[in-house]
Amino acid sequence: MASNRMEISELGEFGLIDRIARNARKQNASTVAGIGDDAAVVDCGGDNLLVATDMLLEGIHFDLAYAPLRHVGYKAVAVNVSDIAAMNGKAEQITVSIGLSNRFSVEAVDELYAGIKAACDNYSVDLVGGDTTSSRSGLVISVTALGRAGKDRVAYRSGAQPSDIICVTGDLGAAYLGVQVLEREKQVFLANPNMQPALDKYEYLVGRTLKPEARTDIVFELAEKGVVPTSMIDVSDGLASELLHLSNNSGVGVRIFEDKVPIDRLTFDTALEFKLDPIICALNGGEDYELSFTISPADHEKIKLHPDIHFIGYVHEEKNQNIMISKQGTVVPLKAQGWDHFGGQ
């Protein structure tokens, strides 16, 4: 049967955004970069203005059965500050828009804003506006962050060059395993409400999920060492997906080494406990909010001793070869399997 209707799942999240971007015509010379990076870049005369926005929805991005409202507020700010950091910028203001169903009390909103305030204090950003509406589907929270970076310091997704070194901060996969732990404990609790969740052992993983931090420290330290990444992105969907964004936007290929990908010991052990492959969790888990970036080989010397920056591979010319060399020496193609909310599962 012929039909004009196309399902969103046929395009996927990225396909849908591409379709929207194709029709977004640039009409102002001040728009330096629009859709397609971690933040938009606006020429304001002096430094560039950076603008990022991200929305969190109850039931999709968080579950109030285990995510305290205070953490939801904190995370909503942190993920936007992370997008500004991913442009090599510093966030300075946020606006916060919320949709509330009648399930929420004033005290609940206070809790949410206590988390927002904690993040504002931690990242030195000012809450300067927003919008408040009612909602029929629980809590909706949308944050827009405004930030700043010197014109010659902005790091796009498109600047990676052959022979650049690929870097990633912190460790990966912990946030994904934190979700697995929380889901398991929730099921145990639903089956027997007298059971207390056994989370102590997994504190690091659960913390990475519920209260992620933006790596503003790395942006600061790169500036201090005189390094401007040739390209950068934050790890929200998973390292593999993010590296493919960098390589596709830069017209190059990436080659990384499994044994260089940073995975915390607890992440590794918990992955095995859940019968998951730790490297798959690190590559495709997502929500780690670490920074992945490329540097010119000439800059390696300046940051090679940084304890929290890991050098995991390099950029090469063949743009169709985005691969990982496994510990056994086999070649594994990198695939984007991030959180796909339109995946139809």
Cβ nearer to Mg ion, comparing 54 with 111: 54
Q: For residue 36, state whether it binds ligand ADP (rule: CB under 6 A).
A: yes
- Scanning 30-38, 130-138, 199-207, 285-293 for contacts with ligand ADP by CB under 6 A, the matching segment is 30-38
Q: For residue 17, state whether it binds ligand ADP (rule: CB under 6 A).
A: yes
Q: Which strand (E) or helix (H) includes residue 278?
A: helix 278-284
Binding mask 19-58 for Mg ion (x = CB under 5 A): -----------------------------------x----
CB of residue 42 to Mg ion, shortest distance in Å: 18
Q: Which one of Mg ion, ligand ADP, none is in contact with 287 (Cβ closer than 5 to 8 A by kind)?
A: none
Rounded CA gap, 141 and 212, in Å? Answer: 16
The single-letter code of the amino acid at 202 is Y
User: Taking CB positions, which residue lies at the least distance from Mg ion?
Assistant: 54
Greatest Cα-to-Cα distance within the chain, rounded to the nearest angstrom? 62
Cβ nearer to Mg ion, comparing 176 with 268: 176
As given in the structure block, the two tokens for residue 91 are 């966030």
CB of residue 53 to Mg ion, shortest distance in Å: 7
Say if CB 336 and CB 268 are below 8 A apart. Answer: no
Strand partners, 42: 31, 49
Query: According to CB under 5 A, which residues from 212 to 231 bind Mg ion?
Result: none
Q: For residue 38, state whether it binds ligand ADP (rule: CB under 6 A).
A: yes
Q: What are phi and psi of 207, to 5 degrees?
A: -65, -40
Q: How far is CA 227 from CA 220, 300, 302, in A?
A: 10, 9, 8
Q: Which one of Mg ion, ligand ADP, none is in contact with 36 (Cβ closer than 5 to 8 A by kind)?
A: ligand ADP
Query: According to CB under 6 A, which residues from 78 to 137 bind ligand ADP?
Result: 83
- Contacts (Cβ under 8 Å, ≥6 apart) of 261: 168, 172, 239, 279, 282, 283, 310, 312, 324
Which DSSP letter does residue 62 get?
B
Cβ nearer to ligand ADP, comparing 66 with 289: 289
CB of residue 87 to ligand ADP, shortest distance in Å: 10
Half-sphere exposure of 317 (CA within 13 A, CB side): 0
CB of residue 113 to ligand ADP, shortest distance in Å: 23
- Scanning 29-37, 183-191, 197-205, 325-333 for contacts with ligand ADP by CB under 6 A, the matching segment is 29-37
CB of residue 17 to ligand ADP, shortest distance in Å: 4
Query: According to CB under 6 A, which residues from 210 to 249 bind ligand ADP?
Result: 236
Q: Which one of Mg ion, ligand ADP, none is in contact with 190 (Cβ closer than 5 to 8 A by kind)?
A: none
As given in the structure block, the two tokens for residue 331 are 């070649």
Give pairs for 194-199: CB < 8 Å, separation 24+: 197/66
Half-sphere exposure of 289 (CA within 13 A, CB side): 23
Q: Which of 35, 65, 190, 272 binds ligand ADP (CB under 6 A)?
A: 35
Which DSSP letter does residue 166 get?
E
Footprint on this chain of ligand ADP (rule: CB under 6 A)? 17, 20, 35-38, 54, 83, 236
Footprint on this chain of Mg ion (rule: CB under 5 A)? 54
